[in-house]
Structure 1
Amino acid sequence: MAGNTGFVTEQWIEHAFAEDRVVVARKDAGSLSGGRITTIDLENDADSETVLSSYRFDRIVYFFESLTLHSDSDGNLGRLRGVLHATRDIAAQVLLVTGPESEFTHAGNDEARETSKSLMSRAGEELGRYYAQTYAMSVKIVRCPYLYEPHHVDASSYLDGLFEHASEGKIEFCERPEQEAYFLCADDLAELVRRIYDDWTTAYEVLHVPNAFHPTFRDFAQAIANGFPEAKIRYGADAPYGYPDDDGVLRRRYGWSPRYSVVDDLPMAIDTWRQAKEKHDRRAEHRFWQRLQRHSRILGAVEIVVAAILVEWLVVATSGQSQISQIDFRMLYVVIAGTIYGLNAGVFAAALACMGVLFEYSRNGASFLPLLYDPTNWLTFVAYLIVGAVCGYVRMRNQEHVRFVRDENDLLRERLTFLRGLYQGVLDDRTMLRRQILGRRDSFGKMYEMTRRLDEVQPQKIYRTAIQIMQDTLETDCLGIYRLDESQRFARLVAASPQEEAILPKSADVAAYDKVMRDIEAKGLWVNRELDGNLPMYAAGVREHGRIGVVIVIRKAAADQMNLYYRNLFLIICGLVESAMTRAFEYEHAARQSMLVPGTSLLNWPSFREKLRAAVELGNDRMGSHLLLIVTDQYPEAGDFNERIIRSIRETDDAGVLADGSVCLLMNQAGERELPIVSARLARNGLNVRNVDAQSEADLLAEPDADGEAS
């Protein structure tokens, strides 16, 4: 996560990325902590390209500066470009979260509100769109209201500034009182980010976050005034602006809508701000003592001087007492000072004691000349200095020993922390690799999951499952599966990706794709190395009884998908699909007679219902379409009727008998538009039919099991 990450907290990360290892780029790199959270400074420690290439991120979230109302920071377009440019060769999912200003409109018209910040916000969005289209990056943009965080200070700079001014007795807004306040709680954004990544698609799109509660700045100011009754409110005269209404996309696709209102959360935010301010004030009360502690030498010197004055007073006070006069208070003072404060302090205390002796000589009226000429009088001064130096030296030596032991312990502690970090890193790597083995799209565990899901005996279900698996594993939405007829002259579309179902032709002439079929026959795979727009980028065949029966195609592929790894992965998955389809074809061929109504080519009701259910599932997933037609005429001769059925339907279609004995035709990959053509073709073969709507299909599938019989 990079950009305007001031509101990102440990709780926010736990909500949005509960199982991921997260790297947050922010200036106060030490404010976040946790085993899964790493903080860096992109501006000082390393550039974006180095960091992104080192970590190889799967997901990247960039927060624009415009998410903060009246932010003084610039848009940091250079940093955004650096992040996008460094991500262009990484298969990462990039989410750009922008502010609301690019969607602001004037009250009287629909023109965009042109401000410097809105221009920078739209410029950032254009950068995202450019990289998504040029480098085929997976980019989405979320336009949301201004963010606020009620649980932490320094996360909502706009609110903190308002509270600070309100505590001083004034609340000033640039906006008018009737102007709507567009705010979104950071917790709501965390939930939205989690749901977007849980249901991520590769298509570039812009998502709009609604302003659900529609509070005005009058409501906003009143909520702050309730917490600061003495504050006076003053509004501005900025031109009013609007924000688009809810388009319902986030609610329908992700089941998400905002839960928290800024007006309801303001009392909590005010209490959080006040508690932080009280802690700050309490810390300020101790600044004097903290300052003294930082200047310990000055404090020690003052203490030594004061103690020397007290000692001299004690000497004077006890000079007339014979027993107490035997105690040398000055020597005791020097010993204590040297033992407590060290060598320099001991010598300094000895010097003060010597000055005290000289002061006593002067006070008694003695001359200083005997001191100079009689060396025996120097012994007192020498003794004070030696005692002060020895006591201070012992103190200093003990301090050095303690410091050495402490440094050695710190070194051992650092080594222990380093080794513990290595051990924890090994454990994290082990856990990560285990998850990759069991969960990565190209892992053995994933291959086992694919094999398990493909374990079906009905080809229609395998078509659907194969499309789902390939979309997830190959990261493409351009898949199609074709079934070749007995003559291998035509290929019929049996399933396709939702985006391709309306684009891929329902029927294809195999002769037009002779180059593709030759490569599939010879190598098992077609790769469009010449980038011919009329041919698929990849195609692989599934053999049935020794010849190609099914062809799987990828119509389009990104530039980074035209490599050996992607080709081999496509071949491996096609091999799994081929094994499953071959098994299903063989089972269907072996069990064909038990699935038919005796004496006819019509499927009995249980078998036909499974075919119909598979077709409905394909339609619900938008991977295919079908028509269910009921034959309205009666045909007494079963042989003639069977001939009509065989002539009228394709190999990909099915004919069966309902529980009530009615004959139905399941026309796969045909919709309402093809109904007149299909009806005319059937009428030419003497079959009159009527269409069955979706509700009637659902009622048929809900009926209990019963074997139908031919009439």
Structure 2
Amino acid sequence: YQILSSVVGKRADVSYDPDGMYIPQEWYCTDRRHKDETGWMPFHLLQEDSGVQILKASNENTEQKKNDRKTLQQRIRGVSDNRYVRAALETTVLFVLMEIILSLTASVSDLKYVDIRLMFVAVCCSIHGMGSGILSIILACFSYIMHLYMAHVDISYFLYQVDSWIPFACYIALGGFVGYMFDVLRDEKESLQGKNQLLSEKYDFLKNIHQETLQIKKQLQKQITISSNSFGHVYEVASRLDTLNPEEILLRVIDIVEDVMQCHQASIFLLGRDYARRRACSPSLKSQISSSLKMSDYPELIRALNDGEVFVNTQMLAEYPDMASPIYAQGKLYGFAAIYDLPTENFTVFYQNLMRILTSLIERNLSKALQYEEARRKEMYIEGTELLKKEAFEQQWEILTQMDETGYTDCMKYHVKSSKPISDEQMGEKLLGLIRNNDFMGIDEDGSYAVILMNMNPAFYDHIRERFSAKDLSIEVVE
């Protein structure tokens, strides 16, 4: 249409009718002037009655030709794969070749005592066996009879002269012997191939059993080793978790989970109202998972956690951890421990139970630490607020700094200032709506208000500053 528009000098108004599915005849260059100016003559006018049918028939013919070609190829392949048909065709070709040689060597005296027919029978029987041998014997006898007929030999001489029967006897004897030997050798070969196939299948079967046995042996040895040291492991885990600070417990959990579960990518999430906030994780896992998980996107995981069960990602769901176990504290779901690189051989009930025992030890110590923290609430928090006092805030910052240095978490401290005088209660109420459940707020060592933001992306700093500004607050990074 663009070419026609440039030639005619007018803009082509192109539109399509979705109901008709055809181009009306009056849209074509039926006017003589257009034909003269463009030099184009339509061979077919695509009308409603004929144009669509032409295109449809052309498409159907193309598909039919493809199907016919494919059917012909399949038939040729089936014929070529048929042993009996191939033997008959090859025997016929050899017979024609034999007749040509006989006609060309009829006047050669040196080949007078060479029986080409006997060679033909021997070759056919040695290639395809008795079945092809019978056909070759019949063809050789027929060729010999036609040779006698063409030589004007009397039929009575042929019947009563024993010498004339010798070629028939030779063809039958040689064909039967060679064909029988070929069939015997072929049967032995097929028998040996069958035995070899059976032995190969038995070998593969025994090899798979051997590999499974070795794998089970390794797993049992591993379980025996773990079981034999179970008391030592339990005591070591209990000793490492024996602290009254919840943050120190969460700091040590990553090392314990990696050691006991034999993995390298573990994480701890604390549950909020709709999100799970990452508190700590293996250094290699930081760039692979988000610091906040919207739990509505993980229905299978949250269902297992609410039921108090260990989640195992046997369905290989994307973005899900390989294994996760709930952590309860003070009678409610506090968070969960997750593993993202659990070895395939550890997707067993044994490791599932091991994960549950491990989180049970975490729960016991975490609950004790939270109870101790609640008992010391008046010592740690400014009365009537969630602001940590100077000593408690500094202690919390030291622990989080250790976690940041080991690579288990990221934290940043910010000073918070108000544009007008404000009380501790008012500041605590404002900050409570601005930070997440895994962040901290309190009084810094210089006496100013401060917040500790966990696992915050620096790219969101401007957005956070705008949120604080909406509450008449300003923040400044503490170097």
1:576 aligns with 2:351: no
Change in 2 beyond 3 A, CA 1:601/1:532: closer
Residue 543 of structure 1 is matched in structure 2 by 328
Q: Return the offset for 1:499.
A: 0.9
Aligned partners of 1:539 and 1:554 also within 8 Å: yes
Separation in structure 2 between the aligned mates of residue 489 and residue 545 of structure 1, nearest angstrom: 20
CA deviation digits over 1:178-235, x for unaligned, max 9?
Answer: xxxxxxxxxxxxxxxxxxxxxxxxxxxxxxxxxxxxxxxxxxxxxxxxxxxxxxxxxx
Change in 2 beyond 3 A, CA 1:521/1:642: closer
Q: Return the offset for 1:591.
A: 1.7
Separation in structure 2 between the aligned mates of residue 477 and residue 557 of structure 1, nearest angstrom: 8
Change in 2 beyond 3 A, CA 1:593/1:559: same
Q: Return the offset for 1:605.
A: 1.4
Q: Return the offset for 1:581.
A: 1.3
Separation in structure 1 between the aligned mates of residue 474 and residue 461 of structure 2, nearest angstrom: 12
Separation in structure 1 between the aligned mates of residue 229 and residue 350 of structure 2, nearest angstrom: 10
1:655 aligns with 2:441: yes
Q: Return the offset for 1:476.
A: 0.7
1:458 aligns with 2:213: no
Change in 2 beyond 3 A, CA 1:87/1:511: closer
Separation in structure 2 between the aligned mates of residue 507 and residue 645 of structure 1, nearest angstrom: 20
Equivalent residues in 2 for 1:549-628 (5 A)?
549-628=334-413
Aligned partners of 2:324 and 2:338 also within 8 Å: yes
Equivalent residues in 2 for 1:167-316 (5 A)?
none
Aligned pair partner of 2:470 in 684, 690, 694: 684
Give the residue type in structure 2 aligned to 1:622.
G
Aligned partners of 1:625 and 1:671 also within 8 Å: no
Identity %: 23
Aligned partners of 1:481 and 1:495 also within 8 Å: yes
1:514 aligns with 2:299: yes
Q: Return the offset for 1:493.
A: 0.6
Separation in structure 1 between the aligned mates of residue 297 and residue 228 of structure 2, nearest angstrom: 34
Aligned pair partner of 2:263 in 459, 462, 476: 476
Separation in structure 2 between the aligned mates of residue 520 and residue 442 of structure 1, nearest angstrom: 29
Gaps of 5+ in 2: 1-210
Residue 412 of structure 1 is matched in structure 2 by none
Residue 502 of structure 1 is matched in structure 2 by 287
Separation in structure 2 between the aligned mates of residue 493 and residue 523 of structure 1, nearest angstrom: 20
1:467 aligns with 2:268: no
Q: Return the offset for 1:442.
A: 5.2
Residue 429 of structure 2 is matched in structure 1 by 643
Aligned partners of 1:477 and 1:498 also within 8 Å: no
Residue 259 of structure 1 is matched in structure 2 by none
Change in 2 beyond 3 A, CA 1:600/1:521: closer
Change in 2 beyond 3 A, CA 1:449/1:599: same
Question: RCO greater where, 1 or 2, for CA within 8 Å and sep 6 or more?
Answer: 2
Change in 2 beyond 3 A, CA 1:442/1:559: farther
Separation in structure 2 between the aligned mates of residue 599 and residue 543 of structure 1, nearest angstrom: 27
Change in 2 beyond 3 A, CA 1:568/1:442: farther
Q: Rg larger in 1 or in 2?
A: 2
Residue 110 of structure 2 is matched in structure 1 by none
Q: Return the offset for 1:666.
A: 0.6
Aligned partners of 2:246 and 2:369 also within 8 Å: yes
Separation in structure 1 between the aligned mates of residue 402 and residue 229 of structure 2, nearest angstrom: 27
Give the residue type in structure 2 aligned to 1:498.
P
1:614 partner SS = helix
Aligned partners of 2:419 and 2:473 also within 8 Å: no
Aligned partners of 2:276 and 2:295 also within 8 Å: yes
Aligned partners of 1:483 and 1:494 also within 8 Å: yes
Separation in structure 2 between the aligned mates of residue 574 and residue 470 of structure 1, nearest angstrom: 9
Q: Return the offset for 1:494.
A: 0.4
Change in 2 beyond 3 A, CA 1:620/1:507: same
Equivalent residues in 2 for 1:99-114 (5 A)?
none
Separation in structure 1 between the aligned mates of residue 252 and residue 323 of structure 2, nearest angstrom: 19
Q: Return the offset for 1:675.
A: 2.6
Change in 2 beyond 3 A, CA 1:626/1:526: same
Aligned pair partner of 1:630 in 410, 415, 434: 415
Change in 2 beyond 3 A, CA 1:546/1:532: same
Q: Return the offset for 1:576.
A: 0.6
Aligned partners of 2:394 and 2:445 also within 8 Å: no
Aligned partners of 1:519 and 1:525 also within 8 Å: yes
Aligned partners of 1:627 and 1:671 also within 8 Å: no
Separation in structure 1 between the aligned mates of residue 271 and residue 275 of structure 2, nearest angstrom: 6
Separation in structure 2 between the aligned mates of residue 523 and residue 692 of structure 1, nearest angstrom: 41
Indicate the RMSD between aligned Cα atoms, in angstroms.
Answer: 2.8
Q: Return the offset for 1:467.
A: 0.5
Equivalent pairs counted in the alignment come to 265
